[in-house]
């Protein structure tokens, strides 16, 4: 449970201490990649809680979603349509759904645990 | 199985953290700060104000001209055009000019001449520097050895001969005449040219520059060669 959070902190530390900067034009891509990553991450947590977690699906989903989102944004830039909004929308909706499901599962677990203890 | 999932999760959170940090840093880039101090700011304000003044003067001139055009539309359209043409010719250097200014005489240094040796030529770079300096100190019209300098005049070296436009600088001494706006400016230029470093550069070519006292009446001849313009063409006017 603590390992992923530690990983997040390590990643943040690495990113802040390194001197990598993305050119202004590409921040769109990076932000959408972050969104895709977060979506996959919460999807993974949810699958884990629902006991349907598959390692391969999770890892491939992570990279595939990032690449797909970035290429969609790229295509959008070249077509003159803000296609990256599509990805933002899809990932955003899914993110909220996943978080809601995670919350419900956690609440259920907590409630049942309390009932069991009584 | 459980530990592998954990490791995967950790890896991915590291990547997410990394991406978020980079994105954060990219977005947080500080806007370019203005680090000029008071004097520099003052200086740039002055430059801008000067520019504004010049532009206003230009606007006023054009307005006046426009007024003249419109008020004298019926009567003396021709005279206005003629005057404009004259002004333009004056600006282009196609008229003879008389005014206050100074005269620089370039002559070889006698002591440096080895008997039988021909005097060296003035290098175009030195000459260009001098002209730049004269322009910097407010020269209005310049002529070199009787050749009027206009905007398109080139000073260059052709087969070892320094040429001003089409005129060769072969015989020494030759004179550089400069006309300034006012007599005071001519005096100022005289003083400045006395301490000018570009005068010293002539020494390298075994030449010296004698600066005459400011004169109230310096004559500069008109530019006689036709001015060829290669990279401009008139706009097709659509009739009103």
Shortest CA gap A69–chain B (Å): 15
Establish if A26 belongs to a structural domain: yes
Cβ of B5 within 8 Å of Cβ of A38? The answer is: no
- Phi and psi at residue B34, to the nearest 5°: -85, 110
Q: What is the pLDDT along chain B (240 residues), one digit of tens a residue?
A: 467 778 888 888 888 888 888 888 887 766 677 788 888 899 999 999 999 999 999 999 999 988 887 777 666 677 778 888 888 888 888 888 888 888 888 888 776 566 666 666 788 888 888 888 888 888 888 888 888 888 888 888 888 888 888 888 887 788 888 988 888 888 888 888 888 888 888 887 778 888 888 888 888 888 887 777 778 887 877 655
- Percentage of residues of chain A with pLDDT beyond 70: 99
Cβ of A15 within 8 Å of Cβ of B11? The answer is: no
DSSP E strands: which ranges in chain B? Answer: 97-108, 139-144, 147-148, 155-158, 161-164, 167-168, 174-180, 207-211, 215-220
Establish if A89 belongs to a structural domain: yes
The predicted pLDDT at position B54 comes to 93
What secondary structure, in 3-state letters, does A14-42 show?
Answer: HHHHCCCCCCHHHHHHHHHHHHHHHHHHH
Q: How many structural domains does chain A have?
A: 1
Establish if A15 belongs to a structural domain: no
Choosing among 3.40.50.2300, 3.30.70.1880, 3.40.640.10, 3.30.2270.10, the CATH entry for B98-220 is 3.30.70.1880
Q: Which of A6, A9, A33 sits opposite B19 (nearest CB)?
A: A33
| A25-41 average pLDDT score | 85
pTM of the model: 0.45
The predicted pLDDT at position A97 comes to 93
Mutate to test the interface with B, among A9, A31, A34 (most CBs of B within 10 A): A34
Establish if A12 belongs to a structural domain: no
The predicted pLDDT at position B118 comes to 61
Query: How many CB atoms are located within 10 Å of the residue B229 CB?
Result: 8
Band the pLDDT of A112: cuts 50, 70, 90.
very high
- Looking at the complex, does the CB of residue B27 fall below 8 Å from at least one CB of chain A? yes
Establish if A107 belongs to a structural domain: yes
ipTM field? 0.82
Q: Are B153 and B177 in contact (CB under 8 A)?
A: no
Shortest CA gap B22–chain A (Å): 6
Q: How far is CA A3 from the centre of its chain?
A: 17
Establish if A104 belongs to a structural domain: yes
The predicted pLDDT at position B113 comes to 60
Is a pLDDT exceeding 60 seen at residue A90? yes
Q: Alpha helix locations (H) across B28-76?
A: 38-71
Q: Which of B6, B13, B23 sits opposite A30 (nearest CB)?
A: B23
Residue in chain A nearest B19 by alpha carbon: A34
* Alpha-carbon gap, residue B200 to B129, rounded angstroms: 11
Establish if A13 belongs to a structural domain: no
Shortest CA gap A7–chain B (Å): 5
Range of the domain at A67: 22-117
Shortest CA gap A103–chain B (Å): 19
Q: Which of A3, A33, A62 sits opposite B6 (nearest CB)?
A: A3
Is a pLDDT exceeding 90 seen at residue A96? yes
| A36-64 average pLDDT score | 87
Boundaries of every domain in chain B? 98-220
Beta bridge partners of B179: B101, B141
The predicted pLDDT at position B74 comes to 61
| A49-64 average pLDDT score | 86
- In A, what residues contact B, Cβ < 8 A? 3-16, 18, 20-22, 24, 27, 30-31, 33-34, 37-38, 40-41, 44, 48, 53, 55, 58-59, 62
- Looking at the complex, does the CB of residue B10 fall below 8 Å from at least one CB of chain A? yes
Establish if A111 belongs to a structural domain: yes
Look at chain A and count its residues.
Answer: 118
């Amino acid at each position: 449970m603590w390992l992923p959070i530690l990983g997040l902190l390590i990643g943040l530390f690495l990113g802040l201490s390194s001197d990598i900067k993305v050119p202004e034009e590409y921040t769109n891509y990076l932000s959408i990649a972050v969104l895709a990553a977060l979506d996959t991450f919460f999807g993974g947590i949810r699958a884990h809680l629902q006991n349907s977690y598959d390692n391969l699906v999770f890892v491939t989903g992570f990279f595939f979603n990032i690449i797909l989102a970035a290429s969609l944004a790229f295509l959008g830039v070249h077509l003159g349509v803000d296609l990256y909004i599509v990805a933002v929308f899809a990932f955003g909706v899914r993110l909220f759904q996943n978080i809601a499901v995670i919350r419900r599962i956690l609440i259920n677990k907590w409630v049942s645990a309390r009932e069991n203890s009584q | 199985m459980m530990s592998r999932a954990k490791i995967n999760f950790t890896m991915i959170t590291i990547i997410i953290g990394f991406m978020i940090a980079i994105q954060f840093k990219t977005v947080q880039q500080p806007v370019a700060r203005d680090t000029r101090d008071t004097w520099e700011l003052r200086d740039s304000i002055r430059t801008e104000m000067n520019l504004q003044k010049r532009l206003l003067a230009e606007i006023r001139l054009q307005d006046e001209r426009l007024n003249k055009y419109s008020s004298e539309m019926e009567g003396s359209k021709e005279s206005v055009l003629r005057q404009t043409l004259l002004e333009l010719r004056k600006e282009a250097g196609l008229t003879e000019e008389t005014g206050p200014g100074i005269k620089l005489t370039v002559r070889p240094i006698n002591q440096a001449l080895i008997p039988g040796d021909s005097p060296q030529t003035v290098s175009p770079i030195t000459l260009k520097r001098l002209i730049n300096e004269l322009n910097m100190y407010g020269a209005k019209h310049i002529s070199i050895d009787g050749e009027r300098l206009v905007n398109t005049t080139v000073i260059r070296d052709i087969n070892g001969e320094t040429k001003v436009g089409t005129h060769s600088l072969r015989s020494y001494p030759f004179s550089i005449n400069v006309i300034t706006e006012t007599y005071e400016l001519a005096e100022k230029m005289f003083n400045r040219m006395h301490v000018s470093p570009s005068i010293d550069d002539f020494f390298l070519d075994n030449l010296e520059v004698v600066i005459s006292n400011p004169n109230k009446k310096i004559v500069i001849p008109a530019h006689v060669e036709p001015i060829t313009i290669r990279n401009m063409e008139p706009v097709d006017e659509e009739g009103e």
